[in-house]
Amino acid sequence: MATRDGRRSRRGADERAGIPPAYEGPEALTALLARAGSPLDAGEVQGRFAEAQARGLDRSTVIPGLFPSEPRFGSPDEARRLYQNLFGLWERVAAGPPGEEAPPPPPRERPPLPPRGSLRGELVPPELVEAVWQELDALGPAGRRRADARFESSQPDLSAWLAAVELPEAGGGAALGLSLEAWAMLDRAFGDRLGPAGWRDLTELAAEPPALERAQPALAAYVAEQLENLADEEPALGAGERAQVERVVATAVAALMRTLARDA
């Protein structure tokens, strides 16, 4: 999918925000499929992928058909792991039998992360947003779990609020993931100036948070791009669901920015 300046978007149009392909093998994928409510095992999924690729279909049209109804997940991490495996298996099938794979492209050089807390003022620049999302995108499952744990310990009220707030079925995982990524960007920018968001602030702001486009325009552009990508993969993510996700992320950012203002 093309971005506003005509370049391809950062991630494939049918990828969920922040989920790189990582195939763990048939046993792991079969177990993940079963927990999510799919009657298929890894071998059957591989067969469907091969048939779909022979017909020139995109994986975004194939993956939803693996589930008789909306997939069930015990946690955002479990959803992420399932889609990592599905995306990884799709790439393996596309590469063909061993020995026929094209050589992998050289790794893309990531922009350097600025020192934590080095930003002056209160506006996060686009280059910091770019550096942090690439750092998070490069994390494997274990690294992502560590990032989740740091978020929960640093932001207990925000973590609890995200667990309690009403989220749409389509895009609910993205709301959680984008809120964590937004916190990671603000934490990198402001360091110890950023405090833990308070429950009272979150509940006060939730009905009508300040527009993210005005509060943090670079972060708002990142969120918008990821939701555009997700909408290509999830047709159920309509305007109402997207607005609900955006409101959750805007609330999280506004509550976090209040801690910065109090520290100033």
Q: Are 45 and 29 in contact (CB under 8 A)?
A: yes
Q: Are 229 and 162 in contact (CB under 8 A)?
A: no
> pLDDT in tens for each of the 264 residues of the chain?
333 333 333 433 344 445 788 898 999 899 999 999 999 999 999 999 999 999 888 888 899 999 988 888 888 888 889 999 999 999 999 887 655 444 555 555 667 888 999 998 899 999 999 999 989 888 888 888 899 999 999 999 999 999 999 888 888 888 999 999 999 999 999 999 999 999 999 999 999 999 999 999 999 999 999 988 888 877 788 888 889 999 999 999 999 999 985 544
Q: What is the DSSP string of 132-177?
A: HHHHHHT--HHHHHHHHHHHHHH-HHHHHHHHHS---TTTHHHHHH
On the CB side of 212, CA atoms within 13 Å amount to 23
Backbone φ/ψ region at 16: left (φ over 0), alpha (ψ -120 to 50), beta? beta
Crossing angle for the helix pair 156-164 and 239-263, nearest 10 degrees?
A: 160
CA distance 53 to 132: 34
* pTM attached to this predicted model: 0.60
Every domain of the chain and the residues it spans: 1-106, 126-263
